[in-house]
Amino acid sequence: GQQLNQSPQSMFIQEGEDVSMNCTSSSIFNTWLWYKQEPGEGPVLLIALYKAGELTSNGRLTAQFGITRKDSFLNISASIPSDVGIYFCAGGLFVVGSEKLVFGKGTKLTVNP
Amino acid sequence: NAGVTQTPKFRILKIGQSMTLQCAQDMNHNYMYWYRQDPGMGLKLIYYSVGAGITDKGEVPNGYNVSRSTTEDFPLRLELAAPSQTSVYFCATGRAEKLFFGSGTQLSVL
C-alpha cells in the first residue's frame, strides 16, 4: 500500500528548543494533516492544509503544504513539556466519490524540562 | 458531549476466541471508521461506513467484520482471534480530512 516517510522517528529535546519534523511521499496529495497522540488517547487533529504552498499556524505550531504536493513540514517553537507525544502526518486524496487517507509512522517527541 | 466512545479499553483474548469492539458517537456524523495501530506504525484502515446500512473494506479488513445498523454505533467483530490481531484499535468519526478519534481499545491475543 501507499506509504509516507515521516522523519525523524523520535526526538529528545530540551524545553524551549524548536522542533522540526517532515513527511514525504512518492505520490501527490491534495490535503495534508498533522495529528498529535498522547499516551492512552486517540490522535487529535492539530493542523489541516489544503493548498500547495500553504503555511498555517496553530499557536506555537506551524505546518506547510509542500509546493510539490508530495511533502509537508511541522515546526514547534519554544517547546514545553506538554508537547510530549507522537505526531503523525497524514496525506489525503479527496475527490468526488473517493477519499484516501494515508498515515505516517509518527515522530515520538520527548521534552526534557 | 462524549464525542466518540470505545469499549472496552483493554482486553486479552485467547487464540480462536471472538469478541466485539464497541464504538458509539454522539456527533451525528454519517462517516465512521475503524483503524488499527501497531507499535511504531501509522494507522491502518480496517473498515469504514458512510452511513447506516453501508460499510466498505479498508486497507486491512481480513479477520474482521462490521455492521452499521444505526448512525451512532459501529461495532467491529473479531471472529477467530489470532496473535496478528494484537494491536490498538481506534474508532473515528467525521469526514476523512477532519477525524475525531476515540481513546482506543488495546487488544492482546495470546
B41: left (phi over 0), alpha (psi -120 to 50) or beta: beta
Q: Collect all residues of chain A within an 8 Å Cβ-Cβ radius of residue B43.
A: 43, 88, 103
CB contact under 8 A, A41 and B98: no
Above 80 in pLDDT, residue B97?
no
CB contact under 8 A, A88 and B40: no
Band (B1; pLDDT cuts 50, 70, 90): low
CB contact under 8 A, A88 and B4: no
Per-residue pLDDT, B67: 95
For A10-67, the pLDDT digits (tens) are 999 999 999 999 999 999 999 999 999 998 899 999 999 999 999 999 999 999 999 9
**How many contacts, defined by CB atoms under 8 Å, are there between A and B?**
53
Which whole number is the average pLDDT over B16-41?
94
Q: What does the block give as the cell for B109?
A: 491475543
Say which residue the cell 504536493 belongs to: A69
Q: Collect all residues of chain A within an 8 Å Cβ-Cβ radius of residue B95.
A: 99
Ranges of beta strands (E only) in chain A are 4-7, 10-14, 19-25, 31-37, 44-49, 55-58, 61-65, 71-76, 85-95, 98-103, 107-112
CB contact under 8 A, A42 and B4: yes
CB contact under 8 A, A42 and B90: yes
Q: What does the block give as the cell for A97?
A: 466519490
Contact residues, chain B to chain A, C-beta under 8 Å: 4, 40-45, 59, 90, 92, 95-104
Question: Is the CA virtual torsion A56, A47, A105, A14 positive or negative?
Answer: positive
